[in-house]
Structure 1
Amino acid sequence: MKPQPEATVRRSIRRHQLREMVPLADTTIYDMEQRGEFPQRFYLTSRCVVWDLSEVEAWLAERRRVSHTKAVTRAPIPDVQLRKTRPIKRLAQA
């Protein structure tokens, strides 16, 4: 008799476990999911949302790889002189 291949066990993680792995806000993760930049959540029940652990780990590995190749463009530094509230005043030159 031929041995049957072992079934792969796919592990899912809940929101609090995801937060431990990915230190992003819930709204940031949700927005990234909507844009297709983060693994999609799925529902086990009407009140239980989970993510596939292998997909999240693959996403983290890809982010690390891209970061090491310097392909991620950083956000520009905001010009505090343009703020509407609490603008930074320039000091007078002596």
Structure 2
Amino acid sequence: MTRPRGDLPFGPPAHSALNLRLALALFGFVVAGGAAVAGFLLGRVLGGFVLAAIAVVALGNAAWVQHRRRQRSRAEGGRHHSLFE
């Protein structure tokens, strides 16, 4: 018996991790945003700006991942991949 070309012997191919990426990006936004606010309140302006920049990048990443999730949903006819879609 031969396997199809490109098939791994360990089982079916892995599913997309977009839901995990979205959760981690939102977690990073909340943590970095909260730390930035704390930094500004404590008078650590440079640290506050650095953490605010990290929070903006995390929010941009979350927006991009959500865009990719919508693209995947449209391309596959609205098929859901998890409870969170």
With structure 2 as the length reference, what TM-score do the two structures score? 0.31
Return the structure number with greater helix share.
Answer: 2
Return the structure number with greater strand share.
Answer: 1
Q: For CA contacts below 8 A with separation 6 or more, give which structure has more relative contact order.
A: 2
With structure 1 as the length reference, what TM-score do the two structures score? 0.29
Which structure: larger Rg? 1
